[in-house]
Amino acid sequence: MIRFDILSVVPELLESPLNHSIVKRAKESKLVEIYIHDIREYGKGNYRQIDDYCFGGDAGMVMMIEPVYKLITKLKSERKYDEIIYMSPDGELLDQKIANQLSCLKNIIILCGHYKGVDHRIREHLITREISIGNYVLSGGEIPASVVCDAVIRLIPGALSDETSALSDSFQDDLLAPPAYTRPAEFNGWKVPDVLLSGNPKLIKEWQEKESLDRTRKLRPELLKD
């Protein structure tokens, strides 16, 4: 069982991606628990202030330390966390290897930034790992956090109906997945490769391995380098 605590100023953004499909089933099967925390509940004063102007006069607001500090301190007093992650465009680039690592942990906090991001002292003193989902800038860390959760949760044994299917996904062994087909075997004259209809598991496996390798060589040769 993995427990995620996700900290956000726009928790609504996390609702749909984390309440459907495989993630929903994993929650129902008690493989994962996801707690979404509204940072604003820890905001300052009657207005529950959570952001303030940027020192130095740059345009844009910065998420304040205190609300995030209070919330993280409260969570840390309740259990031990393996990782306190900040989603950030300048973090380590998420890949299948990182997803595999995270899937072996128990308790994970994910902090989502908004506006210009969080006061840098949060990153210096409270965060243990920073992850980016790609070299582009989004408006908030909620979609990136959902991406991390989804990538990790589908790796938990039992989360996918066919246990082996996460292992045959792209990147799992530095190879892209082979093409997949379903019925009908012929549509518009477009045919499924004969071997897949042969009923011969050995031939099928050989074909899939060859396709994986060919596709990786052609589409993502850098994966084969190491």
Interface contacts to ligand SAH, rule CB under 6 A: 87-90, 112-114, 116-117, 132-134, 136-138, 140-141, 144
User: Is 32 or 133 the residue whose CB approaches ligand SAH more closely?
Assistant: 133
* Cβ nearer to ligand SAH, comparing 39 with 175: 39
Q: How far is the CB of 209 from ligand SAH (least distance, A)?
A: 34
Between 128 and 200, name the residue whose CB sits nearer to ligand SAH. 128
**Hey, CA dihedral for 11, 13, 14, 20, is it positive or negative?**
positive
Task: Work out the number of other CB atoms within 10 angstroms of the CB of residue 140.
Answer: 18
Cβ 14 vs Cβ 36: under 8 Å: yes
| 104/137 with CB nearer ligand SAH | 137
The alpha-helical segments, DSSP class H, found in the chain are: 12-15, 21-28, 65-78, 96-103, 120-125, 142-153, 201-219
Min dist CB 159 to ligand SAH, Å, is 23
Q: Assign 189 to helix, strand or coil.
A: coil
CB of 171 to ligand SAH, least distance (A): 18
| Cβ contact 166:172 at 8 Å | yes
CA separation for the pair 205, 200 (Å, rounded): 9
Residue 85 or 153 having the CB closest to ligand SAH: 85
Minimum CB–partner distance for residue 116 and ligand SAH (Å): 5
Nearest approach in angstroms of CB 114 to ligand SAH is 6
Residue 149 CA to residue 5 CA, distance in Å, equals 10
The C-alpha atoms of residue 222 and residue 226 are separated, in whole angstroms, by 8
Determine the residue with CB nearest ligand SAH: 113
Residue 183 beta carbon to ligand SAH: minimum distance, rounded to whole angstroms = 39
Cβ nearer to ligand SAH, comparing 14 with 175: 14
